[in-house]
Amino acid sequence: MADKIRLLILTHNYPRYKGDFSGVFISLLAQQLQQFNVQPIVLAPHDTQTAEYEEIDGVKIYRFRYADDDKNEVIAYRGNMHKVVLGSVSGLFRFRHFLKCFQEAAFEIIEKEKINIIAGHWLVPSGIVMKRIAKHTKLPMIMSSHGTDIRLMNKWGKTPYRYFKHFCRKLKRWTVVSRFLKEQILALDSQLEDLIEILPLPHDETIFYRDKAIKKENNLIVSVTRFIHQKRVDYLIKAFAEVVKQKPEVRLHLYGSGALQSDMERLIAKMNLVDRISIFPPVPQSKLREVYNKATMVVLNSYQEGFGLALSEAMLCGAPVVGTDSGGITDIIKNRERGLLVETDNITALAEGILLLLNDNNLRKELAEKGYLYAQENYSSSSLAKRYAEIAGDARLD
């Protein structure tokens, strides 16, 4: 057998403790890659009460320090990196130091671990670090994007992409999780067509599955989301208010956190839905299996979602799903075949879709079964890791 490919994974998001969902799909990919002659080594930012080095399930994990103490290491893991960085001049200086520490740690690991290939997740910040490293090494590089980086890049226009253009064109492969993201990147640079490959997020089938021990709760709608503008939770609450008029027994459980949570709580109170809508904090994946298995349906009505992980996880657990016809959600759901698609930002259409599934047991069961079979075939962690390993192998040989 050939020597294992020693793959350095650069990411600003990686599980910090058992049950942490930050970048958990990268962790799953790293674990699975070991089956296919790849030895992953991860470099991620340090955070409060995390080890600077540890080995978990055969994966070496290095965490670089970028501040004198834990309380000042706040750039990563909190879902607001761009706001912290762009919110002030001091934020820009802190980010500059963050990148410097990231880069220095990467060079140390490249030498220490005899790295063959570098793989970055998200163009910012990993792509910035890889671009700098590329000036000093000829190691092949792979980029993976999951949504936020590309969405923000397109929001700001083509000017920021000019910084990355030469580097991106030198990549061996750029994987994205949906057709939507591929189209977004090609809108920035059409010459990247041959470099981009759609490779969905891997799912852990040992966690997400139909659990017969969990009883389905009738009239329970679930949304695993975040309280930010993109997720359109306010639209879901307003649509649910319309549903309640016809189905007063229905309940909505929202799992998530975010800057707009207080606004959503006020909206729920204003619409007299406090006894019908419950908000829960994010839960570990093992708990999510229970959440999905209990649900009558799972809804994700966000705008320009990079993928829509909550929907595909729910499908693996046998739950029927409702999503908006936007972004990567359209890769997961084919309308009336493996779920329902409704018009984005259309409260009436969303309410009607929910009511349709509540009122039609046969349709609900049919969509749940077809969605389950599709998810099993397309989101298997092993098959996706095998393809990623093939990409790494091809890059090493070039």
Class of domain 5-202+380-397: alpha beta
pTM above 0.95, yes or no: no
Give the pLDDT confidence score for residue 86 in this predicted structure: 74
Q: Are strands 196-198 and 277-280 parallel, antiparallel or unpaired?
A: unpaired
Domain ranges in the chain are: 5-202+380-397, 220-378
Instruction: Give the model's pLDDT for residue 276.
Output: 98
Predicted confidence at residue 319, as pLDDT, reads 98
Same fold across 5-202+380-397 and 220-378:
yes
d(Cα 106, Cα 200) in Å, to the nearest integer?
26
pLDDT for residue 34? 96
Q: Please give, one letter per residue, the 3-state secondary structure of the chain.
A: CCCCEEEEEECCCCCCCCCCCCCHHHHHHHHHHHHHCEEEEEEEECCCCCCCEEEECCEEEEEECCCCCHHHCCCCCCCCHHHHHHCCHHHHHHHHHHHHHHHHHHHHHHHHCCCCEEEEECHHHHHHHHHHHHCCCCCCEEEEECCHHHHHHHHHCCCCHHHHHHHHHCCCEEEECCHHHHHHHHHHCHHHCCCEEECCCCECCCCCCCCCCCCCCCCEEEEECCCCHHHCHHHHHHHHHHHHHHCCCCEEEEECCCCCHHHHHHHHHHCCCCCCEEEECCCCHHHHHHHHHHCCEEEECCCCCCCCHHHHHHHHCCCCEEEECCCCHHHHCCCCCCCEEECCCCHHHHHHHHHHHHHCHHHHHHHHHHHHHHHHHHCEHHHHHHHHHHHHHHHHHC
In the prediction, which pLDDT does 2 show? 61
**What is the spatial distance between Cα 117 and Cα 89, in angstroms, rounded to a whole number?**
35
For residue 168, the one-letter residue type is C
Q: What pLDDT score does 152 carry? A: 78
Q: What is the pLDDT of residue 6?
A: 98
The mean pLDDT values, 10 residues at a time, for the chain of 398 residues are 87 91 92 96 95 96 95 86 78 94 98 98 96 96 91 79 95 96 94 96 92 95 96 98 98 96 98 98 92 98 94 97 97 97 98 98 98 94 94 91
Fold of the domain spanning 220-378 = Rossmann fold (3.40.50)
